[in-house]
Amino acid sequence: MQTSDIILVLTAFLASGVEAVEALTVVLATGVTRGWRSTLIGAGAALLVLAANSPMSRARTPTPPAAWTGMPSRWRSSRSFWKGSRSPSSC
């Protein structure tokens, strides 16, 4: 792994941690203000939806989003552009 790959993984991990803390904060605030029964039912339903969608998202990962099919190829190949295989004037 290159250094940039490690930085990318650490950044994604930290961002996921921030989102988890934010979700916990929302659940705690809702539980305190509205009551714990409906809050825990809602959190449990959200976890079930997340667990149901996780395997499906892995199956869809290799295919690009449908919106990309209408984009010009030069936008889809930004990685090759930034590696220097294209000059900025050709865009």
- Per DSSP, helices labelled H in the chain are 3-34, 36-60, 73-76, 78-82
Cα torsion 85, 65, 52, 42: sign = positive
Question: Percentage helix, strand, coil, to 5, in the chain?
Answer: 80, 0, 20
Predicted TM-score (pTM) of the model is 0.53
Q: How confident is the model at residue 77, as a pLDDT? A: 56
- Count, in order, helices (H) and strands (E) of the chain: 4, 0
- pLDDT by residue for the chain (91 residues), tens digit each? 788 889 999 999 999 999 999 999 999 999 999 999 999 999 999 999 988 887 776 655 555 555 555 555 555 555 555 555 555 555 5
The tokens of 42 are what?
């809602």
Nearest to 44 by CA among 29, 61, 23: 23
